Amino acid sequence: MSIEVRNISKSFGSFRALDNVSLHVEQGELVSLLGPSGSGKTTLLRIIAGLETPDPSQASAVIFDGENLTTLSAKDRGVGFVFQHYALFRHMSVFENIAFGLRVRPKATRPSDDVIKAKVMELLRLIQLENLAERFPSQLSGGQRQRVALARALAIEPRILLLDEPFGALDAKVRQGLRRWLRRLHSEITVTTVLVTHDQDEALEVSDRIVVMNHGKIEQMGTPEEVFHKPANEFVMDFLGQVNLFHARVEGQSRKLMVRPFDLDIVTTKSSDSAVPAKITRINAAGSAVKVELTSEAGDAILVEIPHDKHRGLNLKVGDAVFVSPRESKVFFEDYAI
């Protein structure tokens, strides 16, 4: 099921949450809406679900597979929705939570109890919680609750799956496990999925495509590689990871130079014109790369990430005077601010 969002705007009082946003999600894709809080990503998701209505406009529309749903109630859209804080029915067992969407169907289309039971057990196997069917939500961990919420959303065989910061309330370790699990699950059941997150690592890891949003507008759409390596603008570059900002004069003009920490190198002798003298202020060797913090002569803070073997070879210490030089890949931007 493909999703098409056309010219959607939404204001809350004087606050413009979405400003004429259009978006297309292909059948079977997993697309992330990524942005800081207040960027409009959750509002957009809730408009797709039918929980919010867009500002009235002739041009605006929400379309599933060519069917215009703009005026259809959330009840009838057949959307699977997972909330950040799970929103499980606290007075129902895990089993009844998952069965809810089937039990509330009108008599004519409601499956028999046996069919419901088989379906719920199948979903419990999918989320690996078969033996917790009779538990209540308050007796589950956060990660387990979120898996139940996902199973509940999948029980109605939704046309599309919408996830609102699904792992936002979980701790880092559980979050990582669930991310990979979601990715595997998505390749098994291939339901068109839109995920809202403010966590760039999460978006980069699970998505087929990422939509970067800011101030109610889409800044860039593309694969994780595209948005990470070819950011369309300064905001995207900054939001998708740490960057070092340098002011440089290129051909007589003032330019901003943005470089990721792993695109910088540390050398002990001035190897080229672009090498900048700096002093090491902190070394953190915990992690997959060694993070070296430096201060340039101009007083700017610089962060460089170098591999462990390189770090051992250079024998760096806090206080050392070294040079920071960019590797071949670097990103320039016109300095439109000045």
Partner 1 sequence: MMKKALLIGFTVLFLGVFLVIPLGAVLAEAFRKGAGAYFAALQDREALSAIGLTLLCTAIAVPASVIFGVAAAWAVARFRFPGKSLLVTFIDLPFAVSPVVAGLVLVLLFGMQGALGPLMIKSGIRVVFAIPGIILATIFVSFPFVARELIPLMQEQGDEEEQAAMLLGASGWQIFWRVTVPKIRWGILYGVILCSARAMGEFGAVSVVSGHIRGKTNTVPLHVEILYNEYNFVAAFAVASLLVLVALGTLAAKSALEWKVRNEH
Contact residues toward partner 1 (CB under 8 A) are: 49-51, 73-81, 83, 85, 87-92, 100-101, 104-105, 138, 149, 152-153, 155-156
How near is the Cβ of 103 to partner 1 at its closest, in Å?
Answer: 8
Q: Are 8 and 60 in contact (CB under 8 A)?
A: yes
Instruction: Residue 179: name the closest of 201, 161, 211 by CA.
Output: 201
Task: Pick between residue 140 and residue 155 the one whose CB is nearest to partner 1.
Answer: 155
How near is the Cβ of 91 to partner 1 at its closest, in Å?
Answer: 4
Report the chain's C-alpha Rg in angstroms: 24
Q: Which residues of 265-298 are buried (b: 16+ CB within 10 A; e: fewer)?
A: bbeeeeeeeebbebebeebeeeeebbbbbbeeee
How near is the Cβ of 228 to partner 1 at its closest, in Å?
Answer: 33
What is the C-alpha separation between 192 and 162, in angstroms, rounded?
A: 9
Task: Pick between residue 152 and residue 260 the one whose CB is nearest to partner 1.
Answer: 152
How near is the Cβ of 139 to partner 1 at its closest, in Å?
Answer: 11
Task: Pick between residue 88 and residue 259 the one whose CB is nearest to partner 1.
Answer: 88
Task: Pick between residue 90 and residue 125 the one whose CB is nearest to partner 1.
Answer: 90
Cβ count near 49 (within 10 Å): 18
Q: Are 260 and 248 in contact (CB under 8 A)?
A: no
Task: Pick between residue 103 and residue 327 the one whose CB is nearest to partner 1.
Answer: 103
Strands 79-82 vs 160-164: parallel, antiparallel or unpaired: parallel
How near is the Cβ of 158 to partner 1 at its closest, in Å?
Answer: 9
